[in-house]
Chain A
Amino acid sequence: MADTAVSPLLELHQIRRTFPGVVALERVSFQLLPGEVHALVGENGAGKSTLINILSGVLQPDEGQIELLGSPIVLANPVEARQRGIVAVHQEAELFPTLSVAENMALESGLPVNKFGLVQWRQVAAVAANAMSQLGPSWRPDTPAAELSVAHRQMAQVAAAIEQQVRVLILDEPTSSLSRREAEWLFSCVEALKKNGTGIIYISHRQDEIFDLADRITVLRDGQHIWTRPVDQVDSNGLVVAMVGRSVETERARPDPAHPHVAPPELPPRLRVKGLRSGQANSQPVDLQVAPGEIVGLYGLIGSGRTEFAQTLFGLTPAVDGTIAVDGITHTIRNPRDALAAKIAYVPEDRLREGICRHLTVRANLVLSSLSRWTRHGLASLARERQTSSDMVRQLAVRHRTIEQPIRQLSGGNQQKIVVGRSLLTRPQILVLDEPTRGVDVGAKSEIHQMLRNLADQGQAILMISSELPEVMAHTDRIVVFQEGGVSGEFDPSSASASDVAEAAFPSGSGQLLTQTTKTPARNKLRLHMPVAQWGLACVVLLLASWLWISTPNFDPWMQLTHATVWIILGLAASSVIIAGGIDISIGSLLALSAASAAFVLRLDYPAVVTIPAAILMAASVGIAGGLANGALSLVGRVHPIVVTLGTMTIYRGLVIMLLGGRPATDLPSLFIWLAEPQSGFHGAVLGTAFLACAVYIWLQHTRSGRHIFALGSSPTAARLVGISGTRTWLLAFAVGGGLAGLAGALQLAISGQMQSRLGSGWELGAIAVAVIGGVSIQGGRGSVLGVILGALLLRLVTSAIVRWGIAGEHVDLLIGGMILAAVLCELGWQYIQTRVRFGWSQRSSK
């Protein structure tokens, strides 16, 4: 099929890419033909991910050239790659958790818009429905992505990629968490794409898949291109040898003098686990025994349950069921402290995220888990910490300058050694290591292996999780294979063959799995989503309004609405920033500044017809300028917006006092005041606000830039991957927020007919309250205009009821605070319930 006479679709020439201290790719060349499935194989850290990232525009090569259809191209960002038809489905699917699946799919390729710039939601829904119809009946395009399982996230991404016009499709471990049936669906997709002439780069650890699907195979090792061969010229063993660089069998055959191999049978097991079940959806009871001095390898694919098992053992996720006994004593392990007390230590998988504190020193990172050992009478002893750290660093042969240098300056392997050293300092009897050699260079790798062997020789029981078969084969005494949440086999590496072990790990041949699909979360039962919360809010507002209406003789709905308008606009201002993931506490001052500048314009000696529009324009532009300043300062200085707006809040207030010269702004044109008068019959304030709210609604819901605000707030990383400009979107959110605050200022000016310099002080609290009560998530990415309007009305009606009840004004603060608390606690409780429903009731929700 792979006819060499066909001109290549994509060609890489001599690509080189380095990271600080590491060469990730060393002059790699690569060719992809149209209609070809090209498998890319290599161990973890061989450079596959870097290559993919370069192809999909996430990273740029230091040297070398990329050619698409014979012409050289530069892929500066993911969007360009996408526009040229190069689409990557990453292994750990980055999604926007608060957005719907359909929108997630559409954001991958850029939201479709019509000629007015409005998002075509029908098309988005149709495309998604089309893609999902192949996936099964349980799929609904409007499900928030956060509710999807890992497998479903990946499938959604593949489906989304297929829906696009793809020239080159990159699949990175697409089946690692898919069930057999789901995988078969994927394979049929791949076949269909091949027929259309799409080139597919396929990355997988599963040899059977590679041999079934691929036309050619390219092997990478340590950033270097080893060879590219048609699949029929490769056999399984040759592939492994090429990947590892030497034969697995030969390495293991080397005699190891300090190899106790099997622990003396009379020794009681150091660790005995019976029927342990993690909170994961498909977990099965696990029995395991580890003898002192034994290294047990836990092998399995990602999502097979090995990491979950280890984390349950360490108390990170509490066990549903089962017992853990160390040296014959049963321990209840509810959290990592219990585990450490039981002498179990854990070295996490993701070093950067879970392992190290980048900015802290080597010493601080080392002694982290064992601080109680260096504390006497509650006081930490720096001297003893230093002594111990130096000893440990020497023992582990960490290459470093001083133990007081930040750990981020160390190379990956040395960082890993520090994390291991941290566990060792807790003096564990049982050491659990999750992928201890991932992303570590070869030299450090063998040092880590040697270290583990030495530890075992000292009598510790070691559990090593790895997805690299050769590593497990060569460096363990026993291999326990995980698959689909439970143990699928146990092997002695000295006698078993690599393919037996692999077969136990891959859910391939085993017939009973054919019927099993990945469990669908029971989400259909509990689909009370935000709309319901909003309905509840609406009901409360209606009830309160009707009660006030009945009990008040002269209830004037227009007046109520007029007084709510400022809060609606200010709430929207706060929301637009919060949805993007920021916060602006200067909007109260900004409102005053805009109102002051509007008043300045209004009092100029021109006819009111001229000054009124000019004043409104002025207020809006002052607001936009202020908002932009907030956004830009936080971007430029990389400072949290709360600090920046804390500063600008005082600055804007100072400007207000200067602008007004201490006097109130009075004698505004009566036409301007008439515009906002509730009894004028014109209802300018209400109409204007309604118009504005509609505009904001359309912007947020139906334009690209509005949706990008949600995307940015939902997941900045994912936003970067799909090529949304963080800078522009962030600035836009702040500018819109500022502009709205400015308009609220002009409106307030019209409603009160005059202003004083302390106007709006403390209002930021009310605005944030309105947003939060209206269901805007303070973490960003979620919120709606209707919710904010309801929030503002509720706040308005409650203050109105307070006066009705004759309660004094001091209770307003109490009420606002209580309402914010109630709103966020409800949101938290709701998230808690959702997590429980999705992952079972045992798992601890993570922050």
Chain B
Amino acid sequence: MRQNTKFTASAQLIAVACCILIGCSGSQDGTLSGPRIGMMPKLIGIGYFEATREGAEEAAAELGLELTYDGPHLDRSEDQAQQIGEWTTLGLDVIAVAPVDPEGISEALRDAQRAGVTTLTWDTDANPETSGRSVFVNQAPNEAIGYKLVDVMAEGIQAKGESLAGNYLIVSGSATASNQNTWMEYMKQRIADKYPTMKLLPHLTPNEDRQRAQEQTAEALAAHADLKGIWGITSVSLPAAAKATRDAKRADQVYVTGLSLPSEMREYVKDGTVEQFVLWNPVDLGYLTIHVAQRLHAGNLQSGSQAMGRLKNVEVRGGEVILGPPMIFNRENIDDHRF
């Protein structure tokens, strides 16, 4: 028993020491001059958001800003809302969020604004009316992405000399992701306008789970012998769809394309399962977000086409900042990008 008391006493001593240490370290002031920016991805620990972090850190170093890049480890909207609150108390000046749910963080953003924080969204927009965010840093116009996805598929199939008629499948991420839903709307619109022979099957929502996406795609491949093409429209679904198609040895009949990261698609592009796919540059997106945040805080974000840092042609219009048109990745250029 005596031993226990001794242990307790020492534990308490250590604890108190820690408190003092932390208390001291807390009182020191940051040496950086610019605004303190917090940038929050949907979740930490996936490749896409690691790439955006890289760009953000590059811009922060360039501008001499203090950057905090953190997010929930599961894509939970309430975690994001909570973290926005924490960042507000921490005294950050600008908070840039990629919301998991377009409505889920509106109130949290409002609260932050009331405390004097400038808020903006990136990657995915929050509802502009309810959230009151200043600006949305958009990787590319949704319309352009949706159209591009359909065009890439159509051109790819036509280039092989085949007809477009047949069944097509979209593997999305989760059913609540608003940007994915918007892209799908534009995709349907484009198909109806330009390629009426393409027939869409009900889309799959594997809930951003790699294993589930692969299983469900494999299932759909088995169920539809005449499947012509698959879009995987998240960085999780496209590699999963490619793997499932390759496993089913249907890569020559089924045209797979969509949105993903070059680093995750390299092997499928190289072995020919996927000929080409669409994405913007996530490093640039992170880079741009920080630049926009800094300008917003300084109050000098003007409309129109302009250069921001190393990005020469950024368009600012009506509450949106647009990175540029989406890029196409194929066998030739896939090794040029690190992300």
Contact = CB atoms under 8 A, between A and B. Distances in A.
Q: Indicate yes or no for A touching B, C-beta below 8 A.
A: yes
A678 interface: yes
Given A554-B225, A803-B204, 4 more contacts: A554-B221, A662-B50, A753-B239, A799-B215
Interface in B214-241: 214-216, 218-225, 236, 239-240
A740 interface: no
B248 interface: yes
A756 B207 contact: no
A556 interface: yes
A662 B223 contact: no
A660 B45 contact: yes
A255 interface: no
Interface stretch (A133-141, A222-230, A704-712, A805-813): A805-813
Contacts of B236: 756
A649 B243 CA distance: 29
A809 B212 contact: yes
Contacts of A653: 73
A803 B223 contact: yes
B45 A756 contact: yes
B204 to A, nearest CB: 7
Contact of A563 (B46, B209, B215, B266): B215
B263 interface: yes
A566 B204 contact: no
A552 B223 contact: yes
Nearest to B222: A554
A287 to B, nearest CB: 58
A667 interface: yes
Chain A interface size, under 10 / 10 to 19 / 20 to 34 / 35 or more: 35 or more
Q: For chain A, what secondary structure do more than half of its interface residues adopt (helix, strand, loop), or is it mixed? A: loop
A753 B243 contact: yes
B132 interface: no
A800 interface: yes
A664 B47 contact: yes
Contacts of A678: 247
Contacts of A496: none
B243 to A, nearest CB: 5
A810 B222 contact: no
A761 to B, nearest CB: 7
B295 interface: no
Interface string A673-707: 00001110000000000000000000000000000
B77 interface: no
A758 B264 contact: no
A161 to B, nearest CB: 44
Nearest to A657: B45
A758 B236 CA distance: 11
Contacts of B50: 661-663
A803 B267 contact: no
B61 interface: no
Contacts of A552: 222-223
A547 interface: no
B210 interface: yes
A662 B74 CA distance: 13
A748 B210 CA distance: 10
A804 B219 contact: yes
Contacts of B248: 554, 556, 559, 679
A752 B223 contact: no
A808 B225 contact: no
A790 B253 CA distance: 34
Contacts, number: 110
Nearest to B202: A806
A759 B211 contact: yes
Interface residues of B, number: 43
A841 interface: no
A756 B215 contact: no
A409 to B, nearest CB: 16
Interface of A: 552-556, 559, 563, 566, 653, 657, 660-664, 666-667, 670, 677-679, 748, 751-759, 761, 799-800, 803-804, 806, 808-810
A755 B210 CA distance: 8
A698 to B, nearest CB: 29
B207 A809 contact: yes
A553 B223 contact: yes
A554 B267 contact: no
Nearest to B339: A663
Nearest to B174: A809
A754 B264 contact: yes
B55 interface: no
Given A756-B46, A799-B215, A677 B266 contact: no
B46 A810 contact: no
B43 A758 contact: yes
Contacts of A759: 210-211
Nearest to A809: B205
B46 A664 contact: yes
A806 B169 CA distance: 12
A803 B264 contact: no
A657 B47 CA distance: 11
A752 B215 CA distance: 10
Interface string B240-251: 100100011100
B44 A553 contact: no
A682 B66 CA distance: 54
A304 B209 CA distance: 62
27 contacts: A552-B222, A553-B224, A554-B221, A554-B225, A657-B44, A660-B45, A662-B44, A662-B45, A663-B50, A664-B47, A667-B267, A678-B247, A748-B211, A752-B214, A752-B243, A755-B210, A758-B43, A758-B45, A803-B204, A803-B219, A803-B220, A803-B223, A804-B219, A806-B202, A809-B204, A809-B206, A809-B216
Contacts of A662: 44-47, 49-50, 53
A662 B208 CA distance: 16
Interface in B149-189: 175
Interface string B41-63: 00111110110010000000000
